[in-house]
Amino acid sequence: MNPRPTATASAKPGEPAAADAALLYTPAQAARLLSVPESWLRKRAGQRLIPCTFLGKHLRFSRRDLTAIADAGARLPRPTTIGRRNRCAGT
């Protein structure tokens, strides 16, 4: 019996399959999923600035960690100033 779920044909090599969603991801896999450099993830995880899991000395990321990292980076659009002109003082 294989304890680890097998990857589906739709998954690319090195990327987790849908069945693996509950597993922990390596920094390389997590960086690929977030489209950020692996060094960015490792540095911030080492500084405890982003959610992560350490299994002994091994750094891993859960799906929840990746979602939290992406959500923390979300920014609202700036309010627009439609109809208002930027006037200089004294003119």
Q: How many domains does the chain have?
A: 1
Q: Does residue 32 lie within any of the structural domains?
A: yes
pLDDT at residue 8 above 70?
Answer: no
Q: Is residue 5 part of a domain?
A: no
Residue 45 lies in a domain: yes
**Within-domain flag for 57:** yes
Strand intervals (E) in the chain: 53-55, 58-60
CB 17 within 8 A of CB 7: yes
The residues with which 59 forms a beta bridge, in sequence order, are 54
**10-36: pLDDT as tens digits:** 455 555 555 555 589 999 999 999 999
Please give the residue range of the domain that contains residue 29: 21-72
What are 49-66's pLDDT values in tens digits?
999 999 999 999 999 999
CB 24 within 8 A of CB 33: no
